Chains A and B, each alone.
Chain A
Amino acid sequence: MTQPNPTRRGAPVDPTGRYVIQPNGHVTPMSPFMEIWRWHVTMAASILFRATIIAASVGAVIMVGWLGALAFGPEHYACFLSLAGSPLGLLVGFGLTVVVLSFVLNGGRHLINDTGHGLTLKAATLMANIAVWAPVPLAVLFWVVLFASGRVAL
């Protein structure tokens, strides 16, 4: 490695190689690269919201399929129900409830942060943690209720 040795303008000798001399002679830290960012849950919440929107779009296609099956009459709807009631269909249904819950919680977090609120480290971390983790236990609870009330059976 041939890092320029930054000794100009009184800067300390740099054994870490984290400083560079700019063309105008200023000694500045190197740009932070992706790999030296410390992981934080707010990043996960941010990227998960995009993933949620993509998953919700797939969910919208499935919902329009449900509406189409209804509009094409009882036989087509029975076909849809047998697909939705199969183990794979129930898994997709569980995933969709996770997506809806994630959409509401993460969207709520996004809207609160967009108005400039909840941007302290503590509040942002708390809301991001809720948005990332809460959808799964809530969806499990939702499906426990569905199974317990006999609306859905495996």
Chain B
Amino acid sequence: MSSPVKFKNHVKVSERHGASEWLSERVLLLGLMPLGLWVLSTIHTLAGAGYGAVAAWFANTLNAVLAGLTLVVFCGFASLAWKVILEDYVPQAGARRALVLLVNLICLVLAAAGVFFITRMALGSAPLPAGFGA
């Protein structure tokens, strides 16, 4: 749990993991700045595009990697940001813990499902449910 009290520039350093969560939230947000602009340019490229054009877009490895990166970084940021929001607005400790757990679970499932779909598109796999009993 708590580590010995430490000071940096006469300011007490967090005894638990609050400081590292604060810092990771900022680092992930910094990463999302260029990725957000890339998302806008991607919306411009793919708006109204047919299946063939989108499949060709995903065949480019850089596009697939950036799409996966955006999703994973956003889900990481969202889980930390939702935790801050829930900590501010949900006073009951039990409900707060349950909601934080639920949000983390949703973020994890979203990131995993998204990366799975992106990988299949990038590899040009046959449409699902191919490989799953069909």
Contact = CB atoms under 8 A, between A and B. Distances in A.
Contact of A63 (B55, B58, B71): B71
Nearest to A85: B48
A108 interface: yes
Contacts of A100: 36, 39-40, 43
Interface stretch (A7-15, A32-40, A48-56): A48-56
A61 B55 CA distance: 20
Interface residues of B, number: 39
A77 B51 contact: yes
Contact-residue bracket for chain A: 35 or more
Contact of A64 (B29, B30, B39, B71): B71
Q: Is the interface of B mostly helix, strand, loop or mixed?
A: helix
A147 B7 CA distance: 57
A53 B51 contact: no
Interface in A110-154: 110-111, 114, 142, 145-146, 151-153
B48 A151 contact: yes
Interface of B: 26, 29-30, 32-33, 36-37, 39-40, 43-44, 47-51, 54-55, 58, 67, 71, 74-75, 78, 81-82, 85, 110, 113-114, 116-118, 120-121, 125, 127-129
A63 B115 CA distance: 12
Nearest to B36: A104
Q: Is the interface of A mostly helix, strand, loop or mixed?
A: helix
A144 to B, nearest CB: 12
Contact of B127 (A56, A74, A151): A74
A103 interface: yes
Given A111-B33, A152-B47, 17 more contacts: A53-B85, A68-B117, A70-B54, A70-B55, A70-B58, A71-B116, A71-B117, A76-B127, A77-B54, A81-B48, A85-B48, A103-B36, A104-B33, A104-B36, A108-B33, A142-B40, A146-B44
